[in-house]
Amino acid sequence: MAKHALLGALAADDSFCGEIRYDEPLSRHTTLRVGGPARVWVRADSLSALAEVLGACREQGIDWFVMGRGSNLLVSDAGFPGVVVTLGGDFRKWIWDPDALEFTVGAAASLPRIVQEAFRQGVGGLEFAVGTPGSVGGALRMNAGTRTEWIGARVVRVTSYQPGVGLVSRRASDVEWGYRHTSFPSDEVLVECVLSVNPAEQALIRAKMEEKLTRRKRTQPLDEPSCGSVFRNPEGKSAGALIEGAGLSGARIGGARISPKHANFIVNTGGACAADVAALIDQAKQKVKQHYGIELTTEVRFLGFPQ
């Protein structure tokens, strides 16, 4: 793909709402701080910009990937040879409707920001997500939360964009919500959702949020770069406890380490590369399988790795 064959016309068009970069290091856009370059990186600030970019990709048969805030993503050291799209501008906006007790939220909005705004408005239901990094769109895609509380339970409807089709609106009941799983098609980009909340005592909301934040700080390595939880918890088990029980707490490969604070986190201690992280992931899967006969399933998404 020639650099300007795909997006040269858009880049030269003053009306294009966004930004286009070539050979952009994705380590700048992931919380783990690793990953090679994207051949083309685009920030789409409007629906029309998103449609233009994905339309060009579709016409030319070029692979594309939508990246949120990079909090649940491992990008290969080789990077990604296609187009990486991130949402900005209009997709960061949100509206609070006090009569309906609903937030209409763009997919690029910060999930922590919406949680804090719910607290400010004195409404509850989103406390489970306090301290959870990433965008609302990313949280929807993976149904962020726990086995008992997740964002899907708060969704009224979701709007997505499908290249060649346009906007698609779904009610929450049209989507399959599971633990770290949803049924959204991979070829659609989530662009907006409506979240319902409920009246609650602000003091109780604050207490619940502080309790969850305190627990996160005590049990997770929040002061080091990571991609969040690497594996889903098996039914009735803790992935972190299984990895620790297999003797891998604190294990290192290169600049990557399985956190001794929480073994389901792999942290970048400085100078880690994606290959280091991937090797630790494989090692954890193998050791847990050997010790417990349990096959761990990765929660983190992979970009640029061989299929």
Catalytic center residues:
180, 229, 299
* Three-class SS state of 291: helix
Q: What angle do CA 101, 106, 111 make, to 5 degrees?
A: 75
Orientation of helix 3-12 relative to helix 47-60, angle to 10°: 150
8 A C-beta contact, residue 107 and residue 87: yes
What lies within 8 Å, CB to CB, of 215 at 6+ separation is: none
According to the 3-state scheme, what is the secondary structure of 151-218?
A: HHHHEEEEEEEECCCEEEEEEHHHCCEECCEECCCCCCEEEEEEEECEECCHHHHHHHHHHHHHHHHH
- CB 245: neighbour CB atoms within 10 A? 15
Name the maximum alpha-carbon separation found in the chain.
59
- CB 232: neighbour CB atoms within 10 A? 18
Give the sheet arrangement for strand 266-268, strand by strand: 252-253, 256-258, 266-268
Region of 37 please: left (phi>0), alpha (psi -120 to 50) or beta.
beta
Nearest Cα to Cα of residue 219 among 247, 238, 245: 238
- How far does Cα 307 stand from its chain's mean position? 20
Give the Cα separation of 54 and 180 in Å (integer): 26
Take residue 19 and report the two structure tokens written for it: 């930004």
